[in-house]
Amino acid sequence: MDELRFTLNGQPIAEAEAPPNTTLLNYLRQRRGLTGTKEGCAEGDCGACTVAVLDPDAAGGPAWRAVNSCLLLLPMLQGKQVVTVEALGSSGEPHPAQASMAKHLGSQCGYCTPGIVMSIFEACYRRDLDAPWKLDDQLCGNLCRCTGYRPIREAAEAVAGSCPVDRFQGEAAEATPVDMALAYARGGQRHMNPTTPEALWALLEAHPEARLVAGGTDLSLEITKQFKTLPLLISVEGVAGLRGVTAVEGGWRLGATTPLADIEAALGEAIPTLGRMLRFFGARQIKNRGTLGGNLCTASPIGDMPPALISLRAEAILGSRQGERRVPLEDFFVAYRKTALAPGEILSGVFVPELAGLNLRAAAYKVSKRQELDISTVSAGLAVELDDAGRVVDARLAFGGMAATPKRAASAEAALLGQPWTREAVEAAAQRLDADFAPLSDHRGSAWYRATVARNLLLGFYLETERTPRPHLPYRPTATVQIPTP
Ligand SMILES: Cc1cc2nc3c(=O)[nH]c(=O)nc-3n(C[C@H](O)[C@H](O)[C@H](O)COP(=O)(O)OP(=O)(O)OC[C@H]3O[C@@H](n4cnc5c(N)ncnc54)[C@H](O)[C@@H]3O)c2cc1C
Ligand code: FES
Ligand code: FES
């Protein structure tokens, strides 16, 4: 069996002892003595454990990406480069991210500081932080309980996009594709990284009991929060041909292992429905690792991408040794947390049609207790197509958080068809949502609350798209107080 091989703070590592379920966070702190990286929550929610991993295939070119080390299993690093806060700079010669935090008084107790520095580290080398919301998005995965976010944001703003010419920039410039191939077994646990479809199909046939994993932002929680052992994982992350956003005839093919941050970068502007949903999806660290395929395959009733994609007529592309088949995305979710994948099949990608020529109104909404870094209570992807007379000829109203699966509102859609796109028609259709859904009450919201929110989202969609058929997200500053810069 292979060794784990990766580069940590510039040093090559060959690890043969750590069981494959070991998280990078535990490895850094317990095996390497790198205790600058902190544990807060062990579930991706606080950012204290943030490190940077060099991603040679990032949209826009090789880039350092801030990720949560508490959700990264060591075999996910095979062939990659990792940098922790210890390697950025020294007190005599700090990295610009560190110097900026000190200069802007961005730290008090300091517990959150290493993680925040690593998020600002990623920001330093990004060339696309061209709007205020992008800076909010960059930082929203890092919690601080004592400093207050204004100095931290100012520290980030001062250096974001500064692209320092240093060794990190050099390492990114020289990055070559990573070979993740690995068959690693220790302590009764195994982790396989096939890198070709052929190898993947063979492993799936040999080990039907194995669990698939991609970014691990969902699956790793079984290890860190439920304290389970996952004895056999097969990763799709390194399999050739599954990553990337490609323009194809009639639309786009979104590879299943494409990180959500890459989808946001590639299509957030072109398809505002996706851009709006991805803005409030997890946090930067989660989007840097979490994949589209992973989001859909959890089949969570409150997963954020399904309603948005269903409203856009997306199709799931299912792959196996026999080839590919496509199903409308709404049919991919067959029951609570169950998909249409057959044994030996994976989700290879998603086809999203180009709808630009249509007289279409489309938007997505996410309602959660917090604006940032929270799971949806109710979400919606809503789209209607009008004829020249302004009558509805197609309606696709998809909701999350309203049923056991992400689901279209058949009665409300039927009520809209043939109707003029008016407030009266929309209000009548909104009443029909009660026939479509019988939502549950839970700690995120009561059934009454969810039903009311769903009706209001449909009405809000009508009002919002009256003037702008496919609105981008309006920028609402996260800070409660905005201090104009002189
Ligand atoms: C702090 C935090 C915040 C989050 N916020 C959000 C949020 O705002 N909205 C939201 O919707 N989700 C959220 N999530 C959940 C999760 O991050 C997403 O669902 C993410 O997209 C999962 O992708 P992944 O690649 O990490 O999946 P993984 O954890 O690798 O896998 C998830 C599941 O999908 C299966 N799988 C993965 N890829 C494939 C494939 N190609 N074919 C077949 N099966 C596959 C795996 O077997 C596993 O069962 C959050 C999670 C955390 C920890
Ligand atoms: S320890 Fe909180 S995000 Fe990892
Ligand atoms: S400085 Fe104390 S938690 Fe941020």
**167-190 pLDDT, tens digit each:** 999 999 999 999 999 999 999 999
Q: Return the closest-CA partner of residue 115 out of 15, 207, 36.
A: 36
The percentage of residues in the chain with a pLDDT greater than 90, rounded to a whole number, is 92
- What's the whole-model pTM score? 0.97
Mutate to test the pocket of ligand 3, among 46, 85, 108 (most ligand atoms within 8 A of CB): 108
Q: Return the closest-CA partner of residue 255 out of 271, 269, 268, 239.
A: 239
Residue 209 has pLDDT above 60, yes or no: yes
| Spacing, Cα 428 to ligand 1 middle (Å) | 36
Q: What is the model's pLDDT at position 483? A: 56
Q: What is the model's pLDDT at position 479? A: 60
Q: What is the model's pLDDT at position 482? A: 58
Fold classification of 245-465 (topology level): Enolase-like; domain 1 (3.30.390)
Q: What is the model's pLDDT at position 255? A: 98
| Spacing, Cα 22 to ligand 3 middle (Å) | 27
Q: What is the pLDDT of residues 243-298, one digit of tens each?
A: 999 999 999 999 999 999 999 999 999 999 999 999 999 999 999 999 999 999 99
Q: What is the model's pLDDT at position 486? A: 52
Residue 162 has pLDDT above 90, yes or no: yes
Residue 39 has pLDDT above 60, yes or no: yes
Please give the number of the atom of ligand 3 that sits closest to the Cα of 108. Answer: 1
Q: What is the model's pLDDT at position 480? A: 55
Mutate to test the pocket of ligand 3, among 146, 150, 152, 153 (most ligand atoms within 8 A of CB): 146
Residue 484 has pLDDT above 60, yes or no: no
Q: Residue 85's Cα: distance from chain center in Å? A: 23
Q: What is the model's pLDDT at position 481? A: 55
Rounded Cα distance, 471 and 310, in Å: 18
Does the beta carbon of 354 lie inside 6 Å of ligand 2?
no
The closest residue, in CA terms, to atom 3 on ligand 2 is: 44
Does the beta carbon of 147 lie inside 6 Å of ligand 3?
yes
Mutate to test the pocket of ligand 1, among 45, 218, 374 (most ligand atoms within 8 A of CB): 218
Does the beta carbon of 40 lie inside 6 Å of ligand 2?
yes
Q: What is the pLDDT of residues 357-407, one digit of tens each?
A: 779 999 999 999 988 889 999 999 999 999 999 999 999 999 999 999 999
Please give the number of the atom of ligand 2 that sits closest to the Cα of 69. Answer: 4
Mutate to test the pocket of ligand 2, among 23, 38, 41 (most ligand atoms within 8 A of CB): 41
Fold classification of 1-178 (topology level): Ubiquitin-like (UB roll) (3.10.20)
Across the range 150-161, mean pLDDT stands at 96
Residues 6+ apart with CB under 8 A from 442: none
Residue 467 has pLDDT above 90, yes or no: no
Residue 473 has pLDDT above 90, yes or no: no
CB contact at 8 A, 7 and 171: no
The percentage of residues in the chain with a pLDDT greater than 70, rounded to a whole number, is 98
The closest residue, in CA terms, to atom 47 on ligand 1 is: 212
Mean pLDDT taken over the chain:
95
Ligand number, closest to the Cα atom of 105: 3
Ligand number, closest to the Cα atom of 350: 1
Rounded Cα distance, 467 and 15, in Å: 58
Residue spans per domain, the chain:
1-178, 245-465
Rounded Cα distance, 260 and 268, in Å: 10
Does the beta carbon of 346 lie inside 6 Å of ligand 1?
yes
Ligand number, closest to the Cα atom of 297: 1
Q: What is the pLDDT of residues 117-134, one digit of tens each?
A: 999 999 999 999 989 999
Residue 476 has pLDDT above 80, yes or no: no
